[in-house]
């Protein structure tokens, strides 16, 4: 199974760092742009412009015919929301997922942001989901196994009385956006391939305030919570080096 995982050289990770930096900059621009009244289509246009200005390509645009450069998922929408004419309202939360391709390599990251003043429940959801990603990254160490990463998310999220989406998972990433291995956000520790230097993963916990069950809308893309509860999504592209994990989707802007 681990034979199918493509470990990356230092040179490849350098290229992925460059792609990742653009992804991070776009997410930062999304955070700066999100406000009550803006449409998700406007956010998509801002993101596409910025990606192209860097000479990169929006990885999601045209992927299985997806019609936009970002996924924009509001409130009960989990992932894969299609940008459109919906205007953000006070108290909404919005998950933005961004992928770019630069010099043959992909970067992929996501974050959930507030629009205006949000409820304490929504704030807790965002905080726990973001921290669960940090826990997963901390578990990405040589000597650990893949499911230690998965288990770290589930343990933290369920310890905070929230639930982890099962039907969608993180993934290896490199010259393809989705490579082996799949990275579930749940599972027993100590299973799966041993983590080795050169492994690059897109780790992406999706967390609901209600049940973990989800369904797909008639547009065939938008994934929503089965019970209408709120959902959040954080993702980083992370490389495992000799000295531990390195987040590639980070910018030097902040
Ligand atoms: Mg991803």
In tens, the pLDDT along 206-235 reads 999 999 999 999 999 999 999 999 999 999
> Residue range 187-205: average pLDDT?
98
Q: Please tell me the distance from the alpha carbon of residue 120 to that of residue 129, in angstroms, as a whole number.
A: 14
Instruction: Report how far ligand 1's centroid is from the alpha carbon of 108 (Å).
Output: 6
Instruction: Report how far ligand 1's centroid is from the alpha carbon of 213 (Å).
Output: 19
Instruction: Report how far ligand 1's centroid is from the alpha carbon of 247 (Å).
Output: 14
Instruction: Report how far ligand 1's centroid is from the alpha carbon of 137 (Å).
Output: 15
Quick one: which of 63, 133, 140 has its CA closest to 100? 63
Instruction: Identify whether the C-beta of residue 166 lies closer than 8 Å to the C-beta of residue 205.
Output: no
3-state secondary structure of 134: helix
3-state secondary structure of 70: strand
Instruction: Report how far ligand 1's centroid is from the alpha carbon of 130 (Å).
Output: 15
Domains and CATH numbers, the chain: 10-242 (3.90.230.10)
Q: What is the pLDDT of residue 3?
A: 57
Q: What is the pLDDT of residue 51?
A: 98
Q: What is the pLDDT of residue 251?
A: 81
Q: Please tell me the distance from the alpha carbon of residue 221 to that of residue 82, in angstroms, as a whole number.
A: 7
Instruction: Report how far ligand 1's centroid is from the alpha carbon of 169 (Å).
Output: 8
Instruction: Report how far ligand 1's centroid is from the alpha carbon of 42 (Å).
Output: 22
Q: Given a cut of 80, is residue 2 above it in pLDDT? A: no
Residue 253's pLDDT band (boundaries 50, 70, 90)?
low
Instruction: Report how far ligand 1's centroid is from the alpha carbon of 172 (Å).
Output: 9
- Show Cβ contacts of residue 6 under 8 Å, excluding neighbours closer than 6 positions: 172, 174, 175, 179, 180
pLDDT single digits (tens) 30-84: 999 999 999 999 999 999 999 999 999 999 999 999 999 999 999 999 999 999 9
Instruction: Report how far ligand 1's centroid is from the alpha carbon of 18 (Å).
Output: 17
Instruction: Report how far ligand 1's centroid is from the alpha carbon of 231 (Å).
Output: 16
Residue 228, by phi and psi: left (phi above 0), alpha (psi -120 to 50) or beta?
A: left
> Residue range 192-211: average pLDDT?
98
Instruction: Identify whether the C-beta of residue 70 lies closer than 8 Å to the C-beta of residue 38.
Output: no
Residue 149's alpha-carbon distances to 22, 40, 169, 200, 208, in angstroms, are: 25, 32, 12, 13, 19
pLDDT single digits (tens) 92-106: 999 999 999 999 999
> Residue range 107-117: average pLDDT?
98
Q: What is the pLDDT of residue 1?
A: 45
Please give the helix or strand (H or E) that residue 57 lies within, else none. strand 57-58
Global pTM reads 0.97
Instruction: Report how far ligand 1's centroid is from the alpha carbon of 205 (Å).
Output: 10
- Show Cβ contacts of residue 134 under 8 Å, excluding neighbours closer than 6 positions: none
Q: What is the pLDDT of residue 100?
A: 98
pLDDT single digits (tens) 153-188: 999 999 999 999 999 999 999 999 999 999 999 999
Q: What is the pLDDT of residue 252?
A: 67
Instruction: Report how far ligand 1's centroid is from the alpha carbon of 66 (Å).
Output: 14
Instruction: Identify whether the C-beta of residue 193 lies closer than 8 Å to the C-beta of residue 2.
Output: yes
């Amino acid at each position: 199974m681990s034979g199918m995982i493509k470990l990356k050289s230092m040179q490849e990770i350098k290229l992925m760092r460059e792609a990742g930096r653009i992804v991070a900059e776009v997410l930062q621009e999304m955070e700066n742009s999100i406000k009550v009244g803006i449409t998700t289509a406007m956010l998509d246009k801002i993101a596409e412009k910025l990606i192209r200005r860097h000479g990169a390509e929006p990885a999601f645009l045209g992927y299985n015919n997806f019609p936009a450069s970002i996924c924009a998922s509001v409130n009960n929408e989990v992932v894969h929301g299609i940008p459109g004419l919906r205007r953000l309202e006070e108290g909404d939360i919005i998950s933005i997922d961004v992928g770019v391709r630069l010099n043959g390599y992909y970067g992929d990251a996501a974050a959930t942001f507030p629009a205006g003043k949000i409820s304490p429940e929504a704030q807790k959801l965002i905080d726990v989901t973001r921290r669960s990603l940090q826990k997963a990254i901390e578990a990405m160490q040589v000597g650990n196994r893949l499911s230690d990463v998965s288990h770290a998310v589930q343990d933290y999220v369920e310890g905070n009385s929230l639930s982890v989406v099962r039907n969608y998972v993180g993934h290896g990433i490199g010259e393809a956006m989705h490579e082996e291995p799949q990275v579930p956000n749940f599972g027993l520790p100590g299973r799966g391939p041993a983590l080795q230097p050169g492994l690059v993963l897109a780790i992406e916990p999706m967390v609901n305030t209600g049940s973990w069950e989800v369904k797909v809308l008639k547009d065939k893309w938008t994934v929503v919570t089965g019970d209408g509860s709120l959902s959040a999504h954080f993702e980083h592209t992370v490389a495992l080096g000799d000295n531990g994990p390195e987040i590639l989707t980070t910018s030097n802007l902040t």
